[in-house]
Amino acid sequence: MTLDFSTLLPYTDAILEGLVTTVWLTVVTTVAGIALAIVVAYARDGSREGPSGIVSRLLGAYVEVIRNTPFIVQLFFLFFGLPALGVSISATVAALLAMILNLGAYTAEILRAGIDSTLKGQHEAARALGLSRLQSFRHVVLMPAFSRVYPSLISQCIIVMLGSAVVSQISVFDLTYAANFIQSRNFRGFEVYLVVTLIYLLLAVGLRLAFEFVGRRLFAFRQGGSS
Amino acid sequence: MALVSVKDLHKSFGELEVLKGIDLEIEAGEVVSIIGRSGSGKSTLLRCLNQLEQHDWGTIHLADQRLDGTAMSPGELSQNVGMVFQSFNLFPHKTVIENVMLAPLVVKQTPREEARRIAEAVLAKVGMSEKVDAYPAQLSGGQQQRVAIARALAMNPKVLLCDEVTSALDPELVGEVLRVLEDLAREGMTLILVTHEMKFARDVSDRVVFMHQGRIHESGDPQTLFTRPRTPELNQFIASVL
């Protein structure tokens, strides 16, 4: 077998289109998924009784269902299953929704570990200053919790980015879909998947570097002392 | 009526009765030190005064308003009672000035400019003007505790509760924190301190309260209390700590 990467040249546009889709799916998912996780973590952190207890348990069920089922099944359920209930959504919307729900559940659980490790004194200081539970969560608890679990959070976002390859199965034109598409035309599987593998690798490294850059800004307070 | 008025206060943790009927009146401007062995209920009493613990029985009045968990919102309460903790409890992700500005901004909804002015003023009072942009992790324990005092003062409380505020400090850092408290006392701030610093209790307090097994066992002006204790328990306690 001789390698011939020039066979890919006619398909540069397809690869670019796939790359753009994968990147924007990842960026939107990361932002929306983390936002969802914050809401879920806050609601689950509350009282286990009364109306908020029911909400807390429902959200607990959501987190467990997502974490204990395959991503591809979740995706198929949204795309092929929902129309049976009369809710029809496009492949792209289904992909985005599945990815956000997935990242939201995992991140909520990661974040909960950070929230649970908040020292009692922080809560007491916030209460003594008159902050409400929400104010205390937002201004006192959240940022240090994030800083404690940040490495796990980065890994989770990379997993979701790589997992987004699965959305090609419902014909979303992402990077993997582009690869399959090209391979089915030019039959140069080795070249195509080698290039796409390298692109995913670069994306993962880039995503990690971006997260670390943001982390250094956000968590500057951790440098320079013992506590 | 006294600024703080506690009547027949009871508090249990499960089976353990920690406060067995406390009566205490504190006038505005008074400096009261609460002393006693660990487990005597002194910290619990302090924590009931700002409702970090809910009492089971009895009443607490603060500036003529009754506290029982619902009568005063946490926001209102924090403008009446400030608290400083043994372990400082500064917010690690906020700079010194952000720590001090947080409650005025969020709880009182003070405009940012004014909150900053208030923060700068209270930080000047505790001698921390140089460090406004430092993070807590960059400060010594004594500096952190002075910021914590400033943070409580920023809400302009009528009473400041101090729960063993020097116990977590290296000995050479205790002085700077006590000096700040002395200044506050001199300015007429009402202070209620749970403390193991007997010298400070004797020199700065208007009144010393000795707690023993969940009750106020003896109280009075510091000179009399320390030199002529009436009860054997206080006598023993003084002998053990001096």
| pLDDT confidence of residue A48 | 63
Q: What is the CATH number of domain A5-221?
A: 1.10.3720.10
Together in a domain, B96 and B142: yes
Q: How many domains does chain B have?
A: 2
pLDDT at B115: 97
Least confident stretch, A42-46, A71-75, A99-103, A141-145: A42-46
Q: Supply the DSSP symbol for B107.
A: T
For A2-42, how does the pLDDT look when each residue is reduced to its tens digit (9 = 90+)? Answer: 888 888 889 999 999 999 999 999 999 999 999 999 999 99
Q: In angstroms, what separates the C-alpha of B231 from chain A's closest C-alpha?
A: 35
pLDDT band at A227 (very low <50, low <70, confident <90, very high): very low
Place of tokens 């936002």: A35
Q: Which residues pair with B10 in a beta bridge?
A: B20, B57
Q: Choose from B67, B76, B79, B89 for mutation: most chain A CBs within 10 A.
A: B89
Paired residues of B4 in beta bridges: B26, B62
| Co-location of B173 and B146 in the same domain | no
Of B131, B156, B181, which closes a domain? B156
Q: Are residues B233 and B179 in the same domain?
A: yes
pLDDT at A215 over 70: yes
pLDDT, tens only, A144-201? 999 999 999 999 999 999 999 999 999 999 999 999 999 999 999 999 999 999 999 9
Q: Of A43, A65, A64, which Cα lies nearest the Cα of A55?
A: A43
Residue B19 has pLDDT above 90, yes or no: yes
Describe the crossing of helices A189-218 and A12-45 by its angle, rounded to 10 degrees.
40
Which residues of chain A neighbour B77 with C-beta distances below 8 Å?
Answer: 130
Give residue A7's pLDDT: 85
Would you state the structure tokens that stand for residue B217, as one six-digit string? 């066992």
pLDDT for the residue numbered A211: 96
* Structural domain includes residue B85: no
- What pLDDT is recorded for position B64? 83
Q: Does A86 touch chain B (CB under 8 A)?
A: no
Query: What are B97-139's pLDDT values in tens digits?
Result: 999 999 999 999 999 999 999 999 999 999 999 999 999 999 9
On whether residue B67 sits in a domain, the answer given is yes
Whether B96 and B29 map to the same domain: the answer is no
Per the structure, the complete domain to which residue B168 belongs is given by 4-80+158-241
Q: Give the Cα separation of B171 and B199 in Å (integer).
A: 14
Beta bridge partners of B161: B83, B192
User: Per-residue pLDDT averaged across B172-180, rounded?
Assistant: 94
Give yes or no for a contact between A33 and A99, defined as CB atoms under 8 angstroms apart: yes
- Within a domain: B185: yes
A123 and chain B in contact, CB less than 8 A: no
Structure tokens at A144: 């240090």
The CATH number of the domain holding residue B39 is 3.40.50.300
B86 inside domain: no
Same domain, B152 and B213: no
List the single range of A133-137, A183-187, A222-226 with lowest mean pLDDT: A222-226
Examine the fold and report which residue of B132, B156, B180 is the final residue of a domain before the chain moves on: B156
Please tell me whether residues B125 and B183 are part of one structural domain. no
